[in-house]
């Protein structure tokens, strides 16, 4: 009897997890700040994005240019991480990274990718789907040159996504790179540069009462035209 009871008695760790999960089930916010109407938005999704981005800046959203980048490897396994938007125009959304990183390798195998912006203070989300390609070397050079010196040196230091035995490897490499460029301006590493996601679809999401959120989807028809539709939440 005692053995049976012991076998079925929840462990402390399990009880803690169960209580934690119970809390998660009730963890939610009621969205009520604004509504999103298709008659009020700009017909150009890039201009609409600019309006929302300016609003995020005005609301002092922390790092409003932080976005989740989702990629898929050759075997269909997805991965996601936060990167920073560094430019947006009619060509697309630009970010910079190590071309030999995991995301760089995955984009080489499959250039289809997605971005997500979340501006919680405004109860807004923007989802973007499209095809990624490298920006020109001149664009990458110009952006690299604009970075602080420490960031430029760091691009040389990190073999991004590779396994290392400890942080001392990075610190030793940084000391070597710093010494090497003591009397010269570091140039952009050939394995580091920019990507641009050319969107095929952009969705603007506004949190709504009773979870009846507003979702407006722009789908590209050709180089200049977009179709605007409302999606059910």
Q: Which domains does the chain possess?
A: 2-231 (2.30.110.10)
Per-residue pLDDT, 158? 86
Mean pLDDT by runs of 10 across the 233 residues of the chain is 51 57 70 82 97 97 98 96 98 97 97 97 97 98 96 91 89 91 93 98 92 93 95 93
Per-residue pLDDT, 1? 46
Q: What stretch of H or E contains 139?
A: helix 137-146
Start-end of H helices in 9-97:
12-25, 45-58
State CA 38 to chain mean position distance: 26
Closest by CA position to 106, among listed 68, 82, 77: 77
For 174-185, the DSSP string reads: HHHHHHHTTTSP
Closest by CA position to 100, among listed 162, 143, 152, 142: 162
The length of the chain, given as a count of residues: 233
Question: Residues 170, 157: contact at Cβ < 8 Å?
Answer: yes
Per-residue pLDDT, 163? 85
Active site residues: 211
Per-residue pLDDT, 160? 86
CA distances to 1, 17, 18 from 12, rounded to whole Å, are: 21, 9, 10
Segments of 102-191 assigned E as strands? 112-119, 124-134
Per-residue pLDDT, 11? 61
């Amino acid at each position: 009897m005692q053995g049976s009871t012991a076998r079925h008695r929840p462990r402390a760790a399990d009880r803690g997890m169960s209580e934690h999960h119970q809390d998660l089930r009730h963890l939610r916010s009621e969205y009520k700040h604004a509504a999103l109407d298709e008659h009020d938005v700009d017909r150009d999704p890039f201009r609409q994005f600019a309006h929302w981005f300016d609003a995020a800046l005005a609301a002092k959203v922390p790092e409003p240019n932080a976005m989740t980048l989702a990629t898929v490897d050759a075997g269909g396994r997805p991965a996601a991480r936060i990167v920073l938007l560094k430019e947006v125009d009619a060509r697309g959304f630009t970010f910079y990274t190590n071309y030999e990183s995991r995301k760089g390798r995955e984009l080489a195998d499959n250039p289809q990718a997605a971005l997500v912006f979340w501006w919680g203070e405004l109860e807004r989300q923007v989802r973007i789907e499209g095809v990624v390609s490298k920006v020109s070397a001149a664009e990458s050079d110009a952006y690299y040159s604009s970075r602080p010196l420490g960031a430029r040196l760091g691009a040389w230091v990190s073999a991004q996504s590779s396994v290392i035995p400890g942080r001392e490897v990075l610190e030793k490499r940084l000391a070597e790179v710093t010494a090497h460029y003591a009397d010269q301006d570091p140039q952009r590493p050939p394995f580091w540069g920019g990507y641009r996601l050319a969107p095929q679809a952009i969705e603007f999401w506004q949190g709504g009462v009773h979870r009846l959120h507003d979702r407006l989807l722009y789908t590209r028809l050709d180089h200049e035209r977009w179709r605007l539709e409302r999606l059910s939440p």
